[in-house]
Structure 1
Amino acid sequence: MSPPDAAPLKNIAIVGAGGRIGGFIANALIEQGQHHVTAITRPDSTAELPDSLHDVKKADYASHSSLVEALKGQDFLVISMNVMAPKDSQTRLIDAAVEAGVRWIMPNEYGGSWSSSEQMGKDDLLGPGILAIRKYIEEKGVNWVSCVCGFWYEFSLSGAEIRYGFDFKKRSLTIFDDGKVKHTVSTWPQVGRAVAKFLALPVSGSSPCLEDWKNKQLCISSFTLSQRDMFDSVLRVTKTQESDWTITHEDTQKRLKRGQEMMKQGNFAGFGIALYVSVFFPDGRGDNTALNQNDKLGLPKEDLDEATRVAVEYVESGKSKAWSM
């Protein structure tokens, strides 16, 4: 039975709890200690799930009845999936969640604010699909709440040149335009904390509450920074000087077109190039500062250099290689 509206939702299901962001969300919820957290996973999955999960339910994602059975009794479904997952994966989960009686869904977004910049969504190809999923959920008569967090900072900075332009092995950096346009980013722990604190709110009856975000975006962040800001932090963390790095420049529009052309040729690296450069356009479309809701959730301020150090350690340990686009 669902809790009264004046109380937080109790039963939280997570698809992708063995993944990166799903794992941080699951761990934050478990640590918070107010919920019963269930991982929904495939029978043949070898993903390492977080410790202390309250339940693990195996479900055949190709079987509607199997998914429905796994989702019965859940109050809120968090979907966290790889960008390469089959296109109908989310709609299958949504259909099953609706039949199982789940009333709230966090779709697989975790990025920019597409409703505030539809052009950015068209440029990176993600926007239309994201808006379609939101509409699909509403048409099913249930509620969605998307987590707008910008790019994941540690993941993005530790990646190849196709993301933020950094190549740590070569000590090279491609600066987009003048490198001074700021955009919003979040660390993985901050996203986990944000979702956990959000789900600790009552459904209704006082504000803030879940109903405040019914069919809306939950906008949070860790930092608002430019490539130059990131580079300054990298220099401090690595104890290097700018003269130790090879610096080149690329026009944002030209980089976007180059990425799009690569995609047309079947080169998936072009997707990363187009996706990341889109937040650095001079119109400031990647800056979600005006939408920030950190204070409503009581989220902490973070140390930029500490987050940069995590990214550098990912590169040095070789972990980032498994995350390459």
Structure 2
Amino acid sequence: MSYRKIVQVGATGNLGVPVHDALLKSGKFEITVLARTSSSFTSSNPSVKVAKLDYSNKQELVDVLRGNDAVVFTLGDPANLETNSKYIIDAAIEAGVKRIIPSEYGGDIHTDTALTNVVFTPKLKVAEYINAKSSAGEIEFTTITNGPFFDWGLTHQFLGFDIPNKKVTIYNGGTRLFNATTLESIATAIVSVLSSPEQYKNRDLRISDFHISQKDILSILEAETNSKFEVAQEVDADKLQETSQANLRKGDWSFPNVFGALVGSVFALDAASHWGESDDTPGLGIPKKDLREEIKKVLQS
């Protein structure tokens, strides 16, 4: 039986907005959005309850969460992810919430390689905390791993493409395969999990729209724009990841180091965003997407 009452933590940002829209569009849920006191968030739907509070105020959190079935995290801010997630998880347990979907989206942190990637430390600590609470029978969980956000990655140069200037940064020759998922498909997966919670109880799910390389994307971009992309630079993703992680270990969590470690998790050898074509996508009701069509959508946006 589908859950009915859902709390979304963080309904702004790259993933928060499409997830919020998908929850609304499904018509299945009573939605409460949990936001910081400083948030300017408002929902497009007047039926959505918005609770703005200090995440460290446990009693306020418990009062908001009580009576809800599940909490969906769509938080960014890696610096505060562990602390804020633990605050909310503890309150959810006290409030009797059944299920947690944490902010674990991205590379697969459940691999030996990911365990050594410092940039995943906040997610790993949250996962360890949830697993302990789940093992004690206090709460259930479902995690969703999806590789890089495909559409966001193209528009924000995370996948190496500077589309307006027709330039590309090639990582490891551009042939390294990786799994990637559109924001829309991640949101669809979340709705599916909440609609069939028993099927996905205490499971780590992997989803993807594409199992591709940079060269696959490049060939379509050049064809659709009728332009030759200039190779701005060629980068060894393994060395980039190694250098970035070394700096992160020293406490330098500046953007270049976080970016380098995350890019490495996509393109380096044994990358956390590469698991092949077989995963949990088919069973989650995610429509099959065409790579060319999705790239055309990005170009038209």
2:206 and 2:280 in contact (8 A); partners too: yes
Structure 2 gaps of 5+ residues are none
Q: Does the alignment pair 1:150 with 2:152?
A: no
1:262 and 1:269 in contact (8 A); partners too: no
Q: How far off its partner does 1:109 sit?
A: 0.7
Partner in structure 2 of residue 225 of structure 1: 212
Q: Does the alignment pair 1:80 with 2:74?
A: yes
1:124 and 1:271 in contact (8 A); partners too: no
Residue in structure 2 matching 1:276, options 260, 263, 267:
263
Q: How far off its partner does 1:19 sit?
A: 2.8
Amino acid at match of 1:134: I
Amino acid at match of 1:39: V
State the identity %.
26
Q: Does the alignment pair 1:259 with 2:256?
A: no
Q: Does the alignment pair 1:19 with 2:18?
A: no
Across the two proteins, how many residue pairs are aligned to each other? 295
Q: How far off its partner does 1:15 sit?
A: 0.5
Partner in structure 2 of residue 205 of structure 1: none
CA deviations on 1:172-213 (whole Å, 9 max, x unpaired) are 322122211111111111111111122222xxxxxxxx2332
Partner in structure 2 of residue 99 of structure 1: 94
Q: Is the alpha carbon distance of 1:83 and 1:189 closer, same or farther for their aligned partners in structure 2, counting shifts above 3 Å?
A: same
Q: Is the alpha carbon distance of 1:64 and 1:165 closer, same or farther for their aligned partners in structure 2, counting shifts above 3 Å?
A: same
Q: Does the alignment pair 1:123 with 2:110?
A: no
Q: Is the alpha carbon distance of 1:311 and 1:278 closer, same or farther for their aligned partners in structure 2, counting shifts above 3 Å?
A: same
Q: How far off its partner does 1:220 sit?
A: 1.6
Helix, strand or coil at the partner of 1:112: coil
Q: How far off its partner does 1:146 sit?
A: 0.6
Residue in structure 2 matching 1:66, options 49, 60, 78:
60
Q: How far off its partner does 1:30 sit?
A: 1.5
Q: How far off its partner does 1:12 sit?
A: 0.8
Higher mean C-alpha displacement, 47-56 vs 79-88: 47-56
Residue in structure 2 matching 1:303, options 267, 273, 290:
290
Q: Counterparts of 1:124-273 in structure 2 under 5 Å?
A: 124-126=118-120, 128-138=124-134, 139=136, 141-160=138-157, 163-201=158-196, 210-242=197-229, 245-263=230-248, 264=250, 265-273=252-260
Q: CA RMSD in A?
A: 2.3
Structure 1 gaps of 5+ residues are 1-6, 202-209, 315-325
Q: How far off its partner does 1:51 sit?
A: 3.2
Cα distance in 2 for partners of 1:51, 1:310 equals 26
2:148 and 2:266 in contact (8 A); partners too: no
